[in-house]
């Protein structure tokens, strides 16, 4: 769910900033533990990595990890510019396209445990021929890679990384994109999963020369089949090619609006507000080296009739709200609610969960609110 992670961050932020006396120490520990556990899994982590200690990390390791982190940040900045360009154009100029890309295996291998010769890791390097035209602005809404997996343990997982540099026999330069935990499933189960590589595809559309593919890793499992990559993009027509429309036919309220605007009642309507989070002050997150603070934003405000609807369902609900407003309270349909409609990842440089001498760069999915809508 697109709202799941941003909601967890919002709840955790409110708990931290709310007077501590409202919660008993036991309640606080339970709430914090459950939220942290879910957030860790959304980062692709099964446990808290060790607290970062500069004494354990070599200068060479730090410099290389920081270089990868800067490249990941640059990708996100480009994504922000595209989102801003989309937000400046009326929603009726948006067009949606779909592409199906076939994977090409560049390299693959299987590693086994020393004692039992059980499969501990199945990995593949895949590349895709990008046939998506780069007409600015083009936003990759989703890029999902489907696969069938056979489990060899009840403690299995599958992850995908963007390859910045492929180093045969050495350590690749990777950005960790997505991970699925397959805990609780029985041995020999065949499971179908889809992993998101949207940030990588977004970068490749803009910079085809940077397309070095992805690395897929199956821990305690093997790949049975790798499906096609299903990509969905949104473009904006810079000029109205279809019938000319009067500005009156598309009210300003129907345009995509993200930032809160000044003026009569504008700040009361659904829009994006700042929500600064200090990661240093959140217990357990001292394994993150960068960033220390982040503005994750949140959506808040009223949803008047036809104001920034997410979809046609929102319009129907708004219409039914007006139609039922004079009925008894229990029969009334509420207004649409202001909620995050588009989220983007947060780039983090952090300690590895299995090696205190190693650093990783991960795109933490769905952390930053970029767009609000009434839904």
**6 vs 25, more confident:** 25
The position carrying tokens 């009223």 is 302
The sign of the dihedral angle between the CA atoms of 245, 251, 256, 258 is positive
pLDDT average, residue stretch 166-189: 85
Tokens of 42: 């959304």
Confidence of residue 255 (pLDDT cuts 50, 70, 90): very low
Q: Which of 92-101, 162-171, 250-259, 270-279 has the lowest mean pLDDT?
A: 250-259
Tokens of 43: 């980062």
What's residue 242's pLDDT? Answer: 47
Assess contact for 43 and 348: CB atoms under 8 A.
yes
Confidence of residue 243 (pLDDT cuts 50, 70, 90): very low
pLDDT at residue 10 greater than cutoff 70: no
Q: How far apart are CA 350 and CA 282, in angstroms?
A: 15
**183 vs 224, more confident:** 224
User: Residue 254: which residues within 8 A CB-CB, separation 6 or more?
Assistant: 90, 91, 92, 306, 308, 309
211-220 pLDDT, tens digit each: 999 999 999 9
User: Residue 114: which residues within 8 A CB-CB, separation 6 or more?
Assistant: none
Q: How far apart are CA 120 and CA 110, in angstroms?
A: 8
147-169 pLDDT, tens digit each: 999 998 888 999 999 999 998 77
Q: How far apart are CA 227 and CA 250, in angstroms?
A: 41
What's residue 115's pLDDT? Answer: 61
pLDDT at residue 15 greater than cutoff 60: no
Look at the pTM and tell me if it is higher than 0.85.
no
pLDDT average, residue stretch 204-233: 95
What's residue 13's pLDDT? Answer: 55
Q: How far apart are CA 298 and CA 13, in angstroms?
A: 11
pLDDT at residue 17 greater than cutoff 60: no
User: What domains lie within the chain, and their CATH numbers?
Assistant: 23-69+255-374 (2.10.90.10), 93-236 (2.60.120)
Q: How far apart are CA 328 and CA 367, in angstroms?
A: 39
Tokens of 313: 């369902």
DSSP 159-208: EEEEEEE--TTS--EEEEEEEEE-TTPPTT-EEEEEEE-HHHHHHHHH-G
315-370 pLDDT, tens digit each: 999 999 999 999 999 999 999 999 999 899 999 999 998 888 899 999 999 999 99
User: Residue 39: which residues within 8 A CB-CB, separation 6 or more?
Assistant: 5, 8, 9, 12
From the number of C-beta atoms within 10 Å of its C-beta (0-12, 13-18, 19+), residue 21 rates as exposed
Alpha-carbon distance values, 38 to 45, 156, 158, 229, 234 (Å): 10, 17, 17, 27, 30
Tokens of 3: 């709202």
* Terminal alpha carbon distance of the chain: 14
**19 vs 183, more confident:** 183
Q: How far apart are CA 248 and CA 130, in angstroms?
A: 39
Pick from 163, 254, 269, 147: nearest CA to 212: 163
Pick from 74, 196, 200, 88: nearest CA to 136: 88
């Amino acid at each position: 769910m697109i709202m799941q992670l941003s909601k967890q961050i919002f709840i955790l932020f409110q708990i931290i900033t709310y007077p501590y006396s409202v919660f008993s120490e036991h309640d606080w520990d339970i709430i914090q533990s459950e939220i942290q556990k879910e957030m860790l899994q959304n980062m692709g982590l099964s446990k808290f990595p060790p607290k970062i200690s500069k004494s354990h990390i070599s200068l060479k390791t730090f410099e290389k990890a920081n270089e990868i982190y800067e490249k990941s940040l640059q990708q996100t900045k480009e994504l922000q510019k595209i989102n801003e360009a989309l937000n400046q154009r009326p929603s009726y100029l948006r067009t949606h396209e779909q592409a199906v890309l076939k994977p090409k295996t560049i390299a693959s291998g299987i590693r086994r445990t020393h004692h039992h010769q059980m499969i501990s890791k199945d990995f593949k390097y895949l590349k895709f021929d990008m046939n998506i035209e780069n007409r600015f602005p083009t936003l990759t809404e989703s890029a999902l890679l489907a696969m069938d997996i056979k489990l060899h343990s009840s403690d299995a997982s599958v992850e995908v990384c963007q390859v910045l540099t492929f180093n045969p026999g050495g350590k690749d330069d990777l950005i960790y994109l997505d991970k699925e935990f397959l805990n609780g499933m029985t041995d020999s189960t065949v499971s179908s999963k889809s992993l998101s590589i949207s940030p990588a595809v977004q970068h490749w559309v803009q910079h085809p020369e940077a397309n070095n593919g992805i690395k897929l890793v199956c821990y305690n499992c093997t790949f049975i089949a790798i499906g096609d990559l299903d990509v969905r993009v949104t473009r904006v027509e810079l000029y109205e090619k279809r019938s000319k429309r009067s500005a009156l036919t598309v009210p300003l309220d129907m345009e995509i609006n993200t930032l809160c605007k000044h003026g009569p009642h504008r700040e009361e309507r659904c829009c994006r507000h700042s929500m600064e989070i200090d990661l240093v002050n959140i217990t357990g997150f001292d394994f993150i080296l960068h960033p220390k603070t982040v503005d994750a934003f949140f959506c808040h405000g009223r949803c008047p009739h036809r104001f920034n609807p997410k979809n046609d369902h929102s319009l129907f609900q708004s219409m039914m709200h007006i139609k039922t407003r004079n009925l008894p309270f229990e029969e009334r349909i509420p207004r649409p609610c202001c909620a995050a409609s588009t989220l983007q990842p947060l780039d983090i440089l952090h300690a590895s969960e299995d090696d205190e001498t190693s650093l990783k760069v991960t795109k933490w999915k769905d952390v930053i609110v970029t767009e609000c809508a009434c839904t």
